Each structure stands twice: as structure tokens, then as C-alpha cells.
Structure 1
Amino acid sequence: MPSRLTPLSSYRIAVIVFFSLSFQLLGSLAKCHAEDEGISASEAGLDFFEKKIRPVLVEHCYECHSADSKIVRGGLLVDSAEAFRKGGDSGESVVPGKPGEGTLLDALKHETFEMPPKQKLPEQVISDFETWIAMGAPDPRKATLKTAAKKMGMDLETGRQFWSFKPLQKVALPKVQFTDWPQSKIDQFILAKQEEQGLRPGADAGDLTLLRRLYFDLTGLPPSVEQVQAFQSNQSDARWAEVIDELLASKNFGEHWGRYWLDLARYSESTGGGRSLLYRESWRYRNYVIDSFNGDKPYDTFILEQIAGDLLEAEEYKQRQQQIVATAFLALGPHNYENQDKEQLRMDIVDEQIDTTGRVFLGMTIGCARCHDHKFDPIPTSDYYALAGIFRSTNSLVDGNVSRWVSTPLPQSQEQTDFIRAHESNLAETNQALRKLQARMTQLKVGLPAILVDTDQATLVGEWTESQSVKGYVGENYRHSSDLTSSATYDIPVQPGLYEVQLSYTPASNRTRKAKVTVQHAEGEKEFLINQQLTPSEDGTFHSLGEFEVQELLTVQVRPTEMSPTIIDAVRLISKSDLNGELAEKLQKELAEANVELTALQAKLKKLEANAPEKPPLAVSVEEMEKAEDYFVCIRGNVHNLGEPVKRGFLSVIQSSETAPLPADASGRLEFANWIASPENPLTARVFVNRVWHSLFGVGLVRTVDNFGVPGETPSHPELLDFLANEFIENGWSMKKLIRQIVLTRTYQLDSTLSSVSGQDPENRYLTHQNRKRLRAESIHDSLLSMSGELDPTPAGNSMRPGTRSEYGYKFDFGKRAVYLPVFRNRLPDLFTVFDFPDPNLSQGRRTSSTVSPQSLFLMNSEFVHIRSEETAKRVLAIEGDVPQRIEWLILTTLNRYPTSDEQRLFGDFLGEDPESLEAWSQVCQVLFGSLDFRFVD
């Protein structure tokens, strides 16, 4: 453990203050951008309202407190934001941001008024309302006039004229005046818009600024000193294209861009809800996503595999494995598997699948139509339940007291499959031979003759119940009784002689420990108390009562003595009189030979078990239900209140008259996936290229990246959006080609500094300059490890620590890239929490980018940062050179640029007293890690 940093001297503090102030101008730009990024926070709040609050209001409150109510009780309306906050006769019902004020929560808790009056709502629902109020009570609803009830949403014909539902348009390149500026067709669209507004593009970014930008945007990692120097030594005209191609080919590309997708897929390794179970195999989906980006899997194939991979054809087993793993996209949502209302749980999972699929691939909030027609978009409730029929015909749930998700064994190579089959066959044959030999040895031990009497030959008194539950019984079944007045009597006529008497029963933990057994023989009567929880000594089936002389009749009687079940099965008599002379010698010889064979078979079985092949690995997945069925509209979203049936189908606003009906013998999931991935779908390509644009510029052409519906924003460059979508499709849905096409534009390569002209476009809607972006939490984590020399570049498999039973209190290991750290719904690394890692419960295409004091405090006080600072300092001290050379290396490493003369002077003065001090260099490293230039990309 490294030593804690000592308190800084006033001079050292001055150094830190200097560097903090030196970056404030750039920090102000970042703040503007962070405020713009705040849109995502409001989107999350509205999503919470639509999923958690509105359905409860509709089901439990609208009857008495809406504009359509015959009598509005208490003067309170809850069907519009304004009326809800205003409250009723008793005052304000909701005070945004202040759960302790207002009348609503007390009423829901039945502490004042009892609302709803019939039954108190579940505690979780009340907790949701408290959370919603604390979020500021986001509510998109407008006032509703009681005299003019307006139909929800937008009708289909009007909806088809809305920009995002119109077919993709083939657009011509616009003409521009400043013809020397564009480097690409994309630049031409951007410049044309600027010229319409009387704007001109700003300056191009400097080489090192652009190099750092490319490295972080394409790989999430900074360039090393060696990579910076190699770039500077390359003076060819194609050097930028070469750098871009190298970064796109790097495995770091998929690790970085795959994390974008995992945000959308609400990826996690725990279920959330209830006791929060662990998705132990979810890492396979994470690695599938990373591999898909690295392999430039066509986006349409990527879609098909995640929605219906289990239904696709495969050329070989590895492809089949990927297809099955991909369907975890549908399964990895936040679910409370402890919910005892299994029909509600099933529908909640379906709802989450519909909502996530709609947001991720279509940019649509389809889940809002669960309880009513969509308030804004042309999505009637019938469309929602048409999709619900598809997902209800998909098996995502294994029922149980605590239900589980579906886990599918992954297919293996033919060689491995043949090996497993051969091993299983050999194992079965060996076990069968062993059982036969053991049965034969039993007969040899018994000798001849033997008499067997089953329960059907016994005289039964009282109630004896037949059963086959516990295996190991003789004949067709056994019987049990807990009736203390019952009895079972076996009267067995025999030839006079000596007999061993054996009683059979099937043992179990719930059996009696005092079964009373009486044996009447030639010399009298003997009683036994048998513990039937113990396994019988003879082959696990028979218990020996001893040897008895018998004249003509032997009687064995069994009685219960306590309320635990007493078992009766068979009685066996083994004659001991004939076991003499030649017969005894013959039996002993055969038994010795059988023992030799037994030893050999047991050795073979042990070897087979030791060399057993591993069981095929499991994957979180989904599968088809045995029977596909249409579903019903759930009145107000209540799964226990079914309305009219709805045929399975897709969104009506996008369907054409030629859409074929779904097959009766399949869920329709494959057809749904093909419908989404079709080039004819107007949303799919638009949504994805906008996501890529957002990732590279910090802002999408459509700023509401997850919402292309009416509540979302319209595109700033609609022609460019359609141009990119068409190009994307024509280029085979290649994700890498799309990214390469954008980063090679002059628009992307602009400097992020505001100019006098770009100041006329304060929101940078017309892209007169590049946007300054704060590093994502993962890039901060990976950069610190990279700079300290501790980053392990190898990919990871299951990175959850072995033996982990719960996410609570989990201690994270560090060394691999952040994408490989476990993501739990109730536990994240501190660095992730501080630097705006997205909530794994939600699908989010746009992260919040906040600027708050805990971030600076974390970089000052975190032990994780202290260790990285000290390890980086050790690397600095290992460099052969003077202080200026070491400072140059350090700033090239951390900020990817050369130090200014002021930086050289200030750091040199600070280190002057002891230039070999590990503590001093550690403090310099920490100052750089805490600077805005480290946290932001220009």
C-alpha cells in the first residue's frame, strides 16, 4: 500500500491553484456543453413518470380525480401536471423536489386521507412516487378541458406525415459558395446550412489536438508517447487515414464502442429488484457486443441476432453460439424474479422487452402505450399488445417460487459433441454393467432359495397410501401411513428351517425413526424399532432383522408409532439351511470372481468420471414457447383485466398493406426482427447513424437520440441525416465505414475553440466548431491505468470474482479495461458513480455529463487515484534524462501535448529541491490528473 500524500506546502498549493485556474476558460466551455447534456436527465425523469407513475394514476385515481370524472372528489385533478401540483381543497398535493411537503404522500400512506380508499397501494409503488417527487415531479401532461375531451396521440394518417415515419429520401448534394472548404460530401451539407445562416466554419484543429480526439473517440484510450512521436514523424498525405484505419482495426475499438451499445442494452450482471440475483453468464453478451464491433458485423445482422438469434440458420457452431448469446439482449433487463404474481411478472418482462427494443432500434417510446393510446405518437394501445403477443410467445422466464431466466447450453464443435456422446455412452454402459454385477452379487450373497413377499400380499388394516415418489422400492410401488391404528401383516408359509428375515423400505428425511416391526417365529416373538431415515444396509433396499428358526409359518407385522410416515414394501426370507457343502463352496467361488470384476468396473467408472468432458457452457437467452398465441388488450395495463384480443403484429404507422401475417406456429419474433432491420424501415438507419454522430460530436443531429417521436427534437440537418442513413445501408450496414466516413470530414476535424463567427451559433447547432467533450468514466479509469503502466490489455471472460453470491459489498478488482468490470444494478465502482456512469436499469443513448465538486474531490482524495499517481511517478523516475525531459514525457503521456514554457518553469521550480523525490513527482501527477485538460477532449 503506498503512503498517503503529505499536506502540501503553500507553494505547492499555489502550483495546483495555478493549474486549476489555467484551465478555467476551457472549463467554462465544458460547462455549457454539460448543461446541454442535461437533456438526458429530463428524459430519464419523463421515462420514470411514464413507466412508474402514470399507469398508477390511470388505474387508481382517474375515476374520481380526472376531468372526465362525473364528480371530481376533493377538488383534486391528477390528469394534468398543472392541476396535480396545484392540488385540491386541502392544498398543494405535490411540491417538486420536496417529498416531505404536499398532501400526496401522506394520503398514499393512509396517514391522512386514505387514497385510494379501497386498499393501500404496495410500498414499492409509494416509494416510486416519493422518488418521482424528489426528481422534481417531471410530468409532460398538459391540462385537459372537461368540456372537450381530446383523443390521445396522433392518428395514423397524420403520423405517417411526421418526419421520422416518412421513407428515407434520396437527397442531392447542396451547392455551396465556399467550395474550397469541404473535404467530403458530409462537409458540403454542413457548410450549406452554415451559409444559409450567414455563418462560416472555424479553424481546423491542431495535429496533437486532433490525434488525441481520434484516439479517445475511436478507442477510449489516449495515445502513448511513442504513438505521438510516430505520428509526428509520418509526413505523408495519407497519415490521418492511416491513423484512423489503425484505430478502427484495434481491438480497443470494439471495447470502446461496444460500451456505447451496452448503455443502450441496459447491460448488467445483476437483476435488480428483490434480492437482486446474479446474471453469472451475462459477460458472454458483453463480449459478443465487443466482438461484433471489432468484426464490423453488419448492423442489420446485429439486429437480427439480438432479437431472434435463436431462430436464425447457422453455418457452423461458433456462429450458432453467437446467435444464442446475442438474444441475452432481450433477457438482461431489471426484473424482480421474486414477484409471486407470475402473470404480472411475465407481463412486466414483456413490457420491458418492448420498451427497450423500441427505444434502442427505433428511437420510440412504445412502452407508453401499455395503459392507453400513446399520448403523443401514433401508437395505439392495440399496437403495443400486437407486439406483446410476439414477446409473450417467446419464453423468457422459468417459473418458480423465485423465478429464473432461461439458460441455454451452447452448441459445441462436432469433435467435442462426438466426444461427449461417446463418453456418455461409455458411462451408461459401465453403470449398467455395474448394476447387473451388483444384483448378481446380491443373489450370490443371498444364496438359494429366497422367498419374496410384496405389499399386495400383506393384510392391511387402516389407511395405507400407495406411492412411487422415492425410488428404490420392490415391485410396482410402496405404501405409507401415519395412522397409529394401522398395521401391515405378512403371513408367510415356509418349509421348516433357518431363515434370514429382511424388510425393504425407501429412506427419506421425512420418514419415521420408530417403525415398529414384530417377527413371530418358532421360538416366540421379537420386536424392532427401525429408523427409516437411514439407508437400508443390503443394496440400499433391504434391512436385515436377523436369522430365525421357523416351523411352518413366519409372521412379520409393521405398525406406525408416530405421525411421521411409516413405509411398508416387501419382506424377503433367505434360507440358510441349504448354504452348506458344495453349494456354499460354489457360491463363494463365484462371489470371489464377481469381486474381481467389481473392482475393475469401479476403477473404469472412476477413470471415466475423472476424464469427463466439461458440460457445455450456458448462456442467458430466450426461446420459442411451445405454442404461439395472440394476446389481449390489458385494460389500463392490468394483466388481470383483459379486453379485446389483438393479432400479433408491428407498428401500424410503419406497416404497409403488403405486410404478411405472422405464422401461426411461431412467435413472429424473426419476422419482427426482419421488419426492424429492413432498409425500408424509416427509423432504423436514421436512429443508428444519429447515435454514431452523437458519439463523435457529443450532440446528435437529432438531439433526443432515444426519441424520434413527437416529443423529441427535429433534426438540425434532416437532409444530411437521410444522406448518412442511405449511405450506411448502401455500404452494407458497416459500422466502421460509417465512423470512418464521419471522422475523415473537415467538420469533425475542426477546432473546439469558439470564434467570433461561431459565437453567433451559441448552441453550435450548425457545427461551426467541434464540441468539447468530457471523458467518459471508463476512459478516465483506463487512462489512469494506462499512464501508470498497470493496464492489462488482454480481454476478459467472466470478470466477477469466483464465489460471489451477492452484489452488495462487492470489492472491484482493477487492471483490465473498465468495460470488463462487473456492472451491478445496486453497486458500481466509486469512479463510475462520480463521473456519470449510466443507470444500468435504463436504456440510455445519451449520458449525463455533469460538472460537480465531488469529481474534483475524488481526484484529490481517492486512494485509487493516489496509487495511479505514485505508479506513474515511478515510470517518470525510470526515464533517463533531466527534469525538463521528464516533464515533457509526463505531459505528453497525460495531456498528449507538449508542455508550455510556464508549465516547464512552474513544475521545474516545484521539483527543484529534490528532483528524485517520488512523493513530489506523485503530487505533480495528481495535479495533472485533476486538471480539466486531462478530463476533457478538445
Structure 2
Amino acid sequence: MLYGLNALSPIKTLTLISLSAWTGVAMGAAKPDFNHEIRPILASKCYACHGPDEDKREAGLRLDVREEAVKEAIVPGFPEKSEFWHRLVTTDKDDIMPPPSSPKQLTEKERDLLNRWIKAGAEYQQHWSFLPVKNHPLPKVGNAVGVRNGIDLFIRQKLEKNGFPPSAEADPITLIRRVSLDITGLPPTPEEVAAFTREFESSPRAYDQLVDRLLASPHYGERWGRHWLDLARYADSEGFLGDKVRPNAYHFRDWVIESINHDLPFDQFTIEQIAGDLLPEAQVPQLQAVGFHRNAALNTEAGVDKEEARFQNLADRVNTTSRVWMGLTLGCAQCHTHKYDPITIRDYYSFYAYFNNTQDLAEPKTKAQTLAEVTENRRQAYVHLAGDYARRGPDVIPATLSALPKLKTTSDAEQTRLDLAKWLVSPQHPLTSRVAVNQVWSKLFGTGIVSTPDDFGTSGESPSHPELLDWLAIHFMKNGWSRKELIRLIVTSATYRQSSLHRDDILETDPLNRLLSRQNRLRLEAEVLRDSFLTASGLLSRNIGGPSIKPPLPGDVFDVGRSVKWELSEGNDRYRRGLYILTMRSILYPMLTTFDAPDASEACVKRDRSNTPLQALTLMNDPVFVEAAQALALRVIQESPRNTAARLNTLFHRCLSRHPRPEETQRLLAFHAEQKARVKKGGADSLQVLSFFKDQVPQKDAQETAVLVALARVLLNLDEFINRE
């Protein structure tokens, strides 16, 4: 459907009365903010047909640039004289926009905003994320009671504006469990909980000291390394039909864990992954770091067009780099100019040119070396028309995106990946620091300040707290790009420490909790869930780094002619943390994928959190969970006196970090009696129930241990266990 602006005919069905009604609504109302109120409407409802993409543009109308929009469609200050406005409110189905066939229809609120915007002068702004990061002053609030740092002031200001108080602080047991899971990915031990609750009552510094201990733990690097491996699309195999194992892939994983544990500044962390091999006198760690580019799937099968495979591989590097560091969907410009953002197809292939002379080494000199920059017979880069590797358009040279600050160089030589990496972490770059702090925030609250972490463009969501996002980005850079310092700031805020209890007073106004009047309750991620089972049972091996492991699998998942046989890891390796499980692209580890672990086909910026019946079945029947329940029961038998109530108390502390409530004790004692009677009557074979550990259970304890397995499975399957409050 076209606007038909070449001949601006009057809208016969639009009455003067309706126009007057709309302009009356606009009188006296606040001027809309273009970036946060108007642009999202235009981007969602209009830009697909009237945006940057010239090939897809209809009726010659462009609405993403003011100079074009005001030529014929919009008369600033006068919605009633604007053809754009007429098309939004007419009742003529042939003229109305968006057309009736479009699934993206305007709401009355959106029409009102557009009317007020035109009446106020139809001013445009550069998209918020392309503007320089601004150091906003800390806001003043009416009630500063409980404020712990600058984060709380920004959150409190918006809560007060909407008439909501913050939630009370969570209890100390919830706090230690929450922050332990968030920082290390492991639940606290009963001993750690007991020590912290004592300190919490006597020292105002107890929580801050706990945070410092957790950030100093080597398991911090494992937890936050797993987050980065999602972004790096890490896997232990090449993918495609052959899906050959990459035996040295784990070196990159080890580098990530070690770098995060040592708090390698994020700017250097970035440079080493994008261009570590180009650093002067690059050492083994820098060569391991550029494994970031080798993590993608690679098609090495016979008969494959090598040039096409190379093109796809380089495109993956472009798309991944842009999503991970800039939060831009650059891949949308691979075939044509971006429909929503100011990114041309030439921009895309100029960015592509940075990677065009990077050679993947099939036989590197060292296990760490995976890439090399070609210095002779360098390839010329081209625009590939319609994204087709075989259709070459104009020549291009390496260059950064035209909509962003230019790369400043002191040499006339062709720019390299090292130049690109330094440009990304320049303090003048408007995206990198914002995207990085938003990623960290999203891991600690479940949702980022920008809820579309891989789309900071015009079709993404606006930040819920834009000034806070910039304040955090400035803080991040001023503190040496320290990830640890950023996490410390966030988790010590009163905002983070709030209770996650449901609040009826905000449900209707803020159902998604974007104002953060409380903490968010989050289902544990796949690896953390597995690690929590193993921790509670005492089975977890805390060894760090090294080759991937192969824990038990259900059935014969891998016996289908694959290039690798799933030979079970022995000893403690069987119980290592989930991030060390061998990741095959063709067949993912079932338990992890059931709980939404990514498939490594592309960078995963935000994991799904689904809720399916299969998850409940997995918790009850997956080998590792069955084994953990048996080990936990055996542990309780060995640690607790022959007293059912005492053993029940031990189970609660191992699983939930707390005492059972009276009603819970009553119900579980009754359940214990039922299960004991069932075992005595032969309704359950004790040794079969203890299948993994039957050789370790004395005959006299077999029946009681079997009963405790049932109790353990109840607690390990509670929502309280599989969720982080």
C-alpha cells in the first residue's frame, strides 16, 4: 500500500470534527520525547516501507529523515494540514495507514503522541544510542532513606515519579543465596550461610565483605565466563553433518575464565579477542583470545564451495562482532540497506573488509594460534550484491560505520582489525560501554535497562532508565573498564538487594517490573541448575579449566554414526561444572538444551527462560539428577543422627539454606512415614532406588536411605530450589 504522495488528494472521509477532536486532545499536553516516544512508533509501524532502505521504500516517502518527511507529508505545527496525519485517522480503508492488512496497527495513545509531536514542531533527534555517552548528575529524590549508591537514586527518582515505594530488603538468607548464584553460579554451603547470618546481624559491612569474597573466588570466572561463551558461540565441534570435534577449543574457554578472574579490563579483553594476533610481540594468551573468531561453525565437508564457505564464515564474524560489542543488527544490511537503522550495504562490506585478510590456520604452529593476518597477496573486498558471495559490486576498503564517530588514525595505511578493536573501545564510541553494562545488568536483574540487548537500533526497545545507563557506562570506563567493579557496584545497591516478593500495587501499572520496585525472581540457567544439584549432594568437582567432559547421557543419544563416541568421563570429571560439558553442535547435551542453553549456532545475547513439562520430567529422571538425589540421601545418613526431624533439617539446609517451617516438617514427616511403610512392604527395592551408590550403603541403612532419596527428590524439585529469588 502506497501513501500516494505524488498527488496529495484530499481525504474525503475525514471530517473537520474529527481533526478538531484530535488537535484538542493535544492542547496543553507535554511535548513528546522523540527518541523514547515517537521514534519507536515510526520504527515499528512506518520504517519498513518508509525508512532508510531505498529499494523497499514506497511512494518515495522517507520518514526517518526530517528533511524528507517535511517536504510533503508533515507540516510542522499543523497536524490538520499534514497528509501524514490525515492518513493516520481517515476511515477510508484505501488511504489509512498503516493499511488494514498490516499486523502493526496504531493505538489511540500512539496517535495522540504523533499528533502532539507534529503540533510541537515535528522535531527529530539523532537516535539515542548513536549520541555520545553523557555523564548525568545524580538525581535528587524526595526520600533517600535506604539509598546505598547512585544506582538507587536513578531508580528511586522514577519510582517516586510513578508513585511507588521500593520494596523492603530481602532477608539475609535470600541475599547470600541470590548473590552467590549470581556471582559464582553456585549456591552457598550451610556453613557459609550460618557464618554470614551471624555477621549480618553484627556488622554493617557483612554483605559488602561477602561480595568481595565471591568476586575473589575462582568460580566467579566460571560463572561470568559462561555468559561470555554464550556471546562467543562457543562449542567443541565444527558443526554441519560431519561435526568434527575441535580438541583444542577449550583453550579459548580457559582464556576467558582466567581473564575474567584476573579482571582483565574490558577494553583489553575486547582488543585481544578481535585482534590479539596483531598486537606487538603477541604472547600465547593473546593468540588464544582470537579463538573468539574461530568459535563459529565451519563447513569443511567434501564438495563444499570453499569461497562460499569462507564468505559465510566472515559474515558470521561481522554479525557477531556487531551484536556483541555494539548491540546492532548489522546482518540486516548484508543484502540491502538496513530497513530501520542508518546502515548501508556499503557500510556492511566496509566492516567486512576488516576480516577479509584473516586466514584460519588449519595447522597452526602452536595449539594457541588459530588465526593469522595475510600480509602478501591481500584480497580486495567488495560489496556483494544481494548478499550473494558470487555477485561482486563496488570495491570497498576497511572502514567503520558511517553513522558512528569516525576512526581516528595517524597512518595512511589500510586499517586493520587492531584499528577496529581500538575504535570499539574508544571513550567516544557511543555503543560499546552502554552495551557492555547493559549485558551485566541483564544477568543480575533478568532484563537489561535496554530489554533488547542485541538491538540498540531504532527497532529495539528504548532504555527504561536512560540516564542510569549512561551513568553506569561512564562509571565503567572511568574505573578502568573493570567488570568486577561494575558488578560490585550493582550488587551492593539497595535496588539489587530488594525482596522479589510479588506486589499487587504495581501489577497493573508495571507488570514487567521495568521500574524495578522489587527484584526479579529468575529460574536458574541450565548449567547453574545442574551445578546446584551437584553442590547440594556433595558430588560437585570444583576443578577449573581443561578439556571438556562427557557426563552420563539418557539412552543412546550419540550412537547414530557420529564422529565422536560419548565415552563417559570417569572419577571426579563426571561431576565437573556444566560449562565444561562437551558441546556438540549437531546434538546438544539434552539436559542443558531442555533448560534453554543456546545451540552455539550464533551469538546468544539473551537466553530464553521457558517453562515446559519436559523440564519437570528431566528433573525427576535425568541421570545426573537421580544420582544427585541418591548422593544427598547418603550424605544426610552419614552426617545426621538417627533422628528423622534432624535429617529433614539437614536436607533443608543442604538444598534451601534454611530451616523447614513447622507445616513443612509436618507434611514431610508424614511423607517419610508413607515411604518407609512402602519400602518395608516391598513396594520399592532399596538397592534399586540406590542404584548409583548401593555398594556404599550399609545394609542396616538401606531402607532409611531409600526413603531419604524420596525426600531429597522432593526438595530438589521445589520451585524454591530451581529459582533464584
Larger Rg: 1
How far residue 141 of structure 1 moved from its aligned partner, in angstroms, is 11
Residue range with higher mean Cα deviation, 346-355 or 858-867: 858-867
Is residue 2:83 matched to residue 1:323?
A: no
Q: What letter is aligned with 2:712?
A: C
Aligned to 1:846: 606
How far residue 181 of structure 1 moved from its aligned partner, in angstroms, is 2.9
Aligned to 1:355: 319
Task: Quickly say closer, same or farther: Cα 1:896–1:657, change in 2 above 3 A.
Answer: closer
How far residue 629 of structure 1 moved from its aligned partner, in angstroms, is 4.4
Q: What letter is aligned with 1:390?
A: Y
Aligned to 2:140: 175
Give 3-state SS (helix, strand or coil) of 1:633's partner: strand
Aligned to 2:149: 184
Aligned to 2:634: 874
Q: Is the 8 A contact 2:240 2:586 kept in 1?
A: no
If asked which structure has higher relative contact order (CA below 8 Å, sep 6+), I would say: 1
Q: What letter is aligned with 1:207?
A: P
Give 3-state SS (helix, strand or coil) of 1:780's partner: helix
Structure with greater helix share of residues: 2
CA distance in 1, matches of 2:563, 2:583: 9
Aligned to 1:789: 538
Q: Which one of 695, 705, 708 corresponds to residue 921 of structure 1?
A: 708
Aligned to 2:350: 386
Task: Quickly say closer, same or farther: Cα 1:777–1:821, change in 2 above 3 A.
Answer: same
Superposition pairs of residues 781-820 of structure 1, within 5 angstroms:
781-799=530-548, 806=562, 810=566, 813=569, 814-820=574-580
CA distance in 1, matches of 2:521, 2:465: 20
Task: Quickly say closer, same or farther: Cα 1:812–1:707, change in 2 above 3 A.
Answer: farther
Superposition pairs of residues 824-903 of structure 1, within 5 angstroms:
824-881=584-641, 882-903=643-664
Deviation by residue 1:261-284 (Cα, 9 ceiling, x = unmatched): 000000001111231222221100
Superposition pairs of residues 574-585 of structure 1, within 5 angstroms:
none
Task: Quickly say closer, same or farther: Cα 1:618–1:310, change in 2 above 3 A.
Answer: closer
Give 3-state SS (helix, strand or coil) of 1:636's partner: helix
Q: Is the 8 A contact 1:360 1:706 kept in 2?
A: yes
Give 3-state SS (helix, strand or coil) of 1:248's partner: helix
Aligned to 2:402: 652
Identity of aligned residues (%): 37
Q: Is the 8 A contact 1:387 1:648 kept in 2?
A: yes
Q: What letter is aligned with 1:730?
A: K
Q: Is the 8 A contact 2:358 2:373 kept in 1?
A: yes
Task: Quickly say closer, same or farther: Cα 1:67–1:240, change in 2 above 3 A.
Answer: closer
Give 3-state SS (helix, strand or coil) of 1:918's partner: helix
Aligned to 1:698: 446
Give 3-state SS (helix, strand or coil) of 2:582's partner: coil
Deviation by residue 1:593-614 (Cα, 9 ceiling, x = unmatched): xxxxxxxxxxxxxxxxxxxxxx
Is residue 2:161 matched to residue 1:193?
A: no
**What TM-score, normalized to structure 1?**
0.58
Q: Which one of 315, 336, 344 corresponds to residue 372 of structure 1?
A: 336
Is residue 2:185 matched to residue 1:229?
A: no
Q: What letter is aligned with 2:503?
A: S
Give 3-state SS (helix, strand or coil) of 1:827's partner: coil
Superposition pairs of residues 407-422 of structure 1, within 5 angstroms:
407-410=363-366
How far residue 807 of structure 1 moved from its aligned partner, in angstroms, is 5.6
CA distance in 1, matches of 2:358, 2:527: 35
Is residue 2:177 matched to residue 1:212?
A: yes
Q: What letter is aligned with 1:794?
A: N
How far residue 659 of structure 1 moved from its aligned partner, in angstroms, is 5.4
Aligned to 2:212: 245
How far residue 836 of structure 1 moved from its aligned partner, in angstroms, is 0.7
Q: Is the 8 A contact 2:449 2:469 kept in 1?
A: yes
Give 3-state SS (helix, strand or coil) of 2:403's partner: coil
How far residue 910 of structure 1 moved from its aligned partner, in angstroms, is 2.6
Q: Is the 8 A contact 1:159 1:378 kept in 2?
A: no
Deviation by residue 1:210-236 (Cα, 9 ceiling, x = unmatched): 111011000111001111111122221
How far residue 909 of structure 1 moved from its aligned partner, in angstroms, is 2.5
Deviation by residue 1:563-618 (Cα, 9 ceiling, x = unmatched): xxxxxxxxxxxxxxxxxxxxxxxxxxxxxxxxxxxxxxxxxxxxxxxxxxxxxx45
Q: Is the 8 A contact 1:362 1:687 kept in 2?
A: yes
Q: Is the 8 A contact 2:185 2:223 kept in 1?
A: yes
CA distance in 2, matches of 1:806, 1:874: 37
Deviation by residue 1:434-492 (Cα, 9 ceiling, x = unmatched): xxxxxxxxxxxxxxxxxxxxxxxxxxxxxxxxxxxxxxxxxxxxxxxxxxxxxxxxxxx
Q: Is the 8 A contact 2:450 2:463 kept in 1?
A: yes
Task: Quickly say closer, same or farther: Cα 1:935–1:800, change in 2 above 3 A.
Answer: closer
Q: Is the 8 A contact 1:749 1:770 kept in 2?
A: yes
Aligned to 1:677: 425
Aligned to 1:934: 721
CA distance in 1, matches of 2:417, 2:175: 44
**What TM-score, normalized to structure 2?**
0.75
How far residue 313 of structure 1 moved from its aligned partner, in angstroms, is 2.7
Q: What letter is aligned with 2:669?
A: G
Q: What letter is aligned with 2:610?
A: S
How far residue 619 of structure 1 moved from its aligned partner, in angstroms, is 4.0
CA distance in 1, matches of 2:300, 2:58: 37
Structure with greater strand share of residues: 1
CA distance in 2, matches of 1:771, 1:638: 45
CA distance in 1, matches of 2:381, 2:104: 29
CA distance in 2, matches of 1:628, 1:355: 22
How far residue 641 of structure 1 moved from its aligned partner, in angstroms, is 1.6
Q: Is the 8 A contact 1:327 1:622 kept in 2?
A: no
Is residue 2:233 matched to residue 1:266?
A: yes
CA distance in 2, matches of 1:222, 1:924: 20
Residue range with higher mean Cα deviation, 898-907 or 727-736: 898-907
Give 3-state SS (helix, strand or coil) of 1:645's partner: strand
CA distance in 1, matches of 2:562, 2:248: 15
Aligned to 2:111: none
Aligned to 1:333: 296
Aligned to 1:640: 390
Is residue 2:583 matched to residue 1:823?
A: yes
Residue range with higher mean Cα deviation, 679-688 or 812-821: 812-821
Superposition pairs of residues 3-82 of structure 1, within 5 angstroms:
none
How far residue 912 of structure 1 moved from its aligned partner, in angstroms, is 4.0
CA RMSD of aligned residues (A): 2.6
Task: Quickly say closer, same or farther: Cα 1:753–1:812, change in 2 above 3 A.
Answer: farther
Deviation by residue 1:29-52 (Cα, 9 ceiling, x = unmatched): xxxxxxxxxxxxxxxxxxxxxxxx
CA distance in 1, matches of 2:442, 2:407: 35
Q: What letter is aligned with 2:144?
A: T
Q: Is the 8 A contact 2:241 2:586 kept in 1?
A: no
Q: Is the 8 A contact 1:330 1:353 kept in 2?
A: yes
Is residue 2:672 matched to residue 1:911?
A: yes
Give 3-state SS (helix, strand or coil) of 2:168's partner: coil
Superposition pairs of residues 626-775 of structure 1, within 5 angstroms:
626-656=376-406, 658=408, 663-664=413-414, 668-759=416-507, 760-775=509-524
Gaps of 5+ in 1: 1-57, 69-138, 143-157, 397-404, 411-616
How far residue 624 of structure 1 moved from its aligned partner, in angstroms, is 3.5
Task: Quickly say closer, same or farther: Cα 1:267–1:358, change in 2 above 3 A.
Answer: same
Q: Which one of 123, 127, 136 corresponds to residue 162 of structure 1?
A: 127
CA distance in 1, matches of 2:408, 2:369: 37
Task: Quickly say closer, same or farther: Cα 1:244–1:864, change in 2 above 3 A.
Answer: same
CA distance in 1, matches of 2:531, 2:447: 23
CA distance in 1, matches of 2:124, 2:600: 32
CA distance in 2, matches of 1:407, 1:246: 42
Give 3-state SS (helix, strand or coil) of 2:497's partner: coil
How far residue 812 of structure 1 moved from its aligned partner, in angstroms, is 5.4
How far residue 337 of structure 1 moved from its aligned partner, in angstroms, is 2.1
How far residue 330 of structure 1 moved from its aligned partner, in angstroms, is 0.8
Residue range with higher mean Cα deviation, 787-796 or 771-780: 787-796
Q: Is the 8 A contact 1:383 1:651 kept in 2?
A: yes
